[in-house]
A and B are shown apart, each in its own frame.
Chain A
Amino acid sequence: MTSFSDYDYALFFAVIIVVLFVGFISFIWRKPKTMEDITEWGLGGRRFGTVVVWFLLGGDMYTAYTLIAVPGVAGGSGALAMFAITYGIMIYPIVYLMMPRLWTVSKKRNYITVGDFVRDRFSSPFLALLIALTGVLAELPYLALQIVSIGYVMQAIFLPVTISLIIAFLLVAAFTFLSGMRAPALTAIIKDAIVWGVVLTIVIYVPIHYGGFANIFSTASAYTKTTKTFTPLDMPPTLALGYVTLALGSALALFLYPHGITGTLGSKDVRTIKRNASLLPLYNVLLLIVAILGVAAVVANGGVFGTKGQPATSFAFPYLIKDLFPSTFTALAYAAIVVGSVVPASIMALASANLLTRNVYVQYINKNATSAQQALLSRFLVIVVIVAALIFSLTPAANGYVIYLQTFGGAFILQTLPAVYLALYTRKFSKYSIGIGWFIGLSSTLYLLYLLNFSGSLYKPFDFIYVGIFSLILNVVTVLIVHLISLVMHKVKDEGIIDNSELASEF
């Protein structure tokens, strides 16, 4: 392990500054007539093609948190980290089935958020409010996690963590304020070039250094003797249900998150989305590589991460790089992790701001807000959201829990599934059945998390089932029961103003 020279620090900061600079000037990219427009600022004018959307969604979903957490899980638990790949495989058929329909009706009716769709589909501003607020609440810990993740990098190179994070994310807020969705789209291209370059270099070097993957896995599996919870080769059968429900739940949840939906709505046509459903899976290869690198980190470290006397799991990836590579490459790799947080932080804040503007402000406070007023409000809300996430991530009390909060966020956002995915295919269910289902699903999620002392999301008495999936099942059953009751009572009213034909995509 070599320490950073001044030159290495300079390289580290240079890369970050270039990416932030691009964020600031990206408002001139495909410059619109005016940026004082919610579609232009908030969705980049709905003009992004296949390549840009690939980078944007890739940068949006495969984040700094991913680069820290996936190797972290691998370095602490082993094969469990592969759940991220299992889940990655299951994401894209959903994207293919759902997003073209949502995009088509959003384009037709100029929707900016999924709340707009829910409002019209059920003729219920209140249901839209509930769905929008669930989205914002689930998004906040995810955003905070990006901040916490790069804190580990700052710590590994002895930078003052708190002040560095505050400066970095206020700059992200500022360029998002200025450039809107063009900023994450353009910075994503640079970010991905660096991240792919760094990860591919590491994955070529690491097996050569250790004499092949077989050596890495056999050396790592020896640690199972001393740490029983570390199983690098496969999963303990007791966790089968937990593993598959967590993967399935995460896959169903990803494109219910505001950042997933907003990124997709920025596409220029249905073809762009459908093509990306086949192209985005390439990122899963990157994810698989970093999972394996997490196992290699145990070998490099000479011990399982997160056990007694060993570094925290989140250090697995940063320390592997530090242990094996010259400091100049390490500087570049760390910079890559930091810029990996910029794109998602920007789009997550923007997506949350859009929800608050459209489904709280416009629906409840000022029904006649112009597009320019909405864009202006969203801009300021971006700053509010990022500051909230900063406070959240820097509070010592919240810090220990923030990792858990993300899996909780997934369980919460899953409860919006009937209001979005079901509603994209059928208008049979009324706002009452969907709303009551949402309430039961959310209550059940909260109650089970409470039973778990908010320290995990797999529920042991039910064979370690993922809390989110368990609650979603209750949620959907409730929707069906309420629907049946209202059928019997002849109280079914179809109030939505969106006709099914408006959802059918061009092909």
Chain B
Amino acid sequence: MNGFIKGILLLLPYIFMVLGFDIYNRVNPQLGGLPFFYWYQLVWIFIAAILTFTVYLVESKEYERKKVNS
């Protein structure tokens, strides 16, 4: 995976949290009694963690491969 794609994956949370404010600053639809503003961000806690973890896994694999080849 090239650096550009990694950068995008790591930057996505900023795009959604900063530029997407108007999208998540709303009350409905609610989930489990939580306003949208709350549960949307709860979901994003996990999305952001998964994005970081994906980049970690890819870099880790690339590193192992490089070590074997050299």
Contact = CB atoms under 8 A, between A and B. Distances in A.
A325 interface: no
Chain B interface category by residue count: 35 or more
Interface string A58-91: 0000000000000000000001001001101110
Given A86-B17, A240-B21, A506 B63 contact: yes
Contact of A90 (B13, B25, B37, B49): B13
A159 B19 CA distance: 47
Contact of A214 (B10, B30, B50, B53): B30
B35 A89 contact: no
Contacts of B22: 237, 240
A281 B49 contact: yes
A111 B14 CA distance: 31
Interface in B33-70: 33-38, 41-42, 44-46, 48-53, 55-56, 59-60, 62-63
A251 to B, nearest CB: 8
A235 B41 CA distance: 14
A275 B21 contact: no
A207 interface: yes
A292 interface: yes
Contacts of A274: 56, 59-60
B45 A88 contact: yes
Contacts of B50: 278
A96 B52 contact: yes
Nearest to B57: A278
B41 to A, nearest CB: 5
A288 B35 contact: no
A356 interface: no
Contact of A281 (B25, B30, B45, B55): B45
B23 to A, nearest CB: 11
Interface residues of A, number: 42
Interface string A401-416: 0000000000000000
Interface in A209-228: 212-217
Interface in A186-222: 207, 212-217
Contacts of B10: 93, 96-97
Interface in A274-305: 274-275, 277-279, 281-282, 284-285, 288, 291-292
A89 B17 contact: yes
Contact of A285 (B13, B18, B45): B45
Interface stretch (A113-121, A241-249, A433-441): A241-249
B42 A217 contact: no
A275 B33 contact: no
Contact of A278 (B13, B44, B52, B62): B52
A92 interface: yes
B7 to A, nearest CB: 8
A285 B42 contact: yes
B27 interface: yes
Nearest to B20: A244
Contacts of A291: 38
A158 interface: no
A278 B53 contact: yes
A278 B30 contact: no
Given A86-B41, A217-B33, A274-B60, 7 more contacts: A85-B41, A90-B17, A213-B33, A234-B36, A244-B21, A278-B50, A507-B59
Interface of B: 10-11, 13-14, 17-18, 21-22, 25-27, 30, 32-38, 41-42, 44-46, 48-53, 55-56, 59-60, 62-63
Q: Nearest 3 A-B pairs (CB), nearest first?
A: A213-B33, A507-B63, A214-B33
21 contacts: A79-B35, A82-B37, A82-B41, A86-B17, A89-B48, A90-B18, A96-B10, A212-B33, A214-B30, A233-B35, A235-B25, A240-B21, A240-B22, A244-B17, A244-B18, A277-B52, A277-B56, A285-B42, A288-B41, A288-B45, A507-B63
